[in-house]
Each structure stands twice: as C-alpha cells, then as structure tokens.
Structure 1
Amino acid sequence: MLEAELEQLEQRIQRLAAAYRQARLEARRAQQERDRMVALNSELRRRIEGIVERVRQLETEQDP
C-alpha cells in the first residue's frame, strides 16, 4: 500500500517537473518572440520616420 502511494507520488512529481520545464521553455520562447517583435517595431518606426521626413522634404521643395 505504502509502496503504491510512493509510486503515485513519484509519478506526480515527474509530471509536475515536466510541466514546469515546459512552462519555462514556453516562457523563454515568448520572451524571445517579444524581443523579436520589439526589434521589428523599432525598425518599422525608423523606416516610417524616414518616409515622413522625405515627404516633408518633397513638400517644402514644391512650395514656392
């Protein structure tokens, strides 16, 4: 009886440990994806600012 309970506890510990490792892996991947998106957002912002600046330059060149 005690041996069966110990076996069940061991299995539960193994499942919990596996779930914990999986959660950490998923959190790490989410952090990497967030970092990638932040970098992409910065690059897009930089490009948009360049386009806006160029449009402003063209507008001032056309004004008499």
Structure 2
Amino acid sequence: MLDPEVEQLEDRVHRLIDALRQSRLEHQRVVQERDRLLALNAELRRRIEGIVDRVRCLETESEPQA
C-alpha cells in the first residue's frame, strides 16, 4: 500500500525537478537574448548619435554660407 504512494511521490519529484531544469534553461536563454538586445540597442544608439553629430556638423557648415 505504501509503495504505490512512494512511487507516485518519486514520479512527482522527478517531474518537478525536470520542470525546474527546463525553467532554468529558459531563464538562461531569456537572459542571453536580453543581453544580446541590449548590446544591439547600444550599438544602434552609438550609430544614431554619430549620424546626428554629422548632420549637426553639416548644418553648422552650411549656416555661414547662407
């Protein structure tokens, strides 16, 4: 009578451990994706700032001629 209950508990524990492992893997993937997107965002921000600086320089250069 006790053996089936112990077996059920063992099965449940194994399923919970598997679910925890899966959750940790998914969390790790999400963190990696977040870090990748943050790096991409920083690169895009640098590029945009460079373009804005160039446009400002062009505007300043063209002002005295006008």
TM class by shorter chain equals over 0.9
Partner-residue secondary structure (3-state), 1:63: helix
1:38, distance to aligned residue in structure 2 (A)? 0.6
CA deviations on 1:17-56 (whole Å, 9 max, x unpaired) are: 0000000000000100010011001000000000000000
User: TM-score, length-normalised on structure 1?
Assistant: 0.98
Structure 1 residue aligned with 2:38: 38
Runs (5+) with no aligned partner, structure 1: none
Aligned residues: 64
TM-score in terms of structure 2 length: 0.95
Partner AA of 1:6 in structure 2:
V
Runs of 5+ unmatched residues, structure 2: none
Distance of 2:60 and 2:32 partners within structure 1? 42
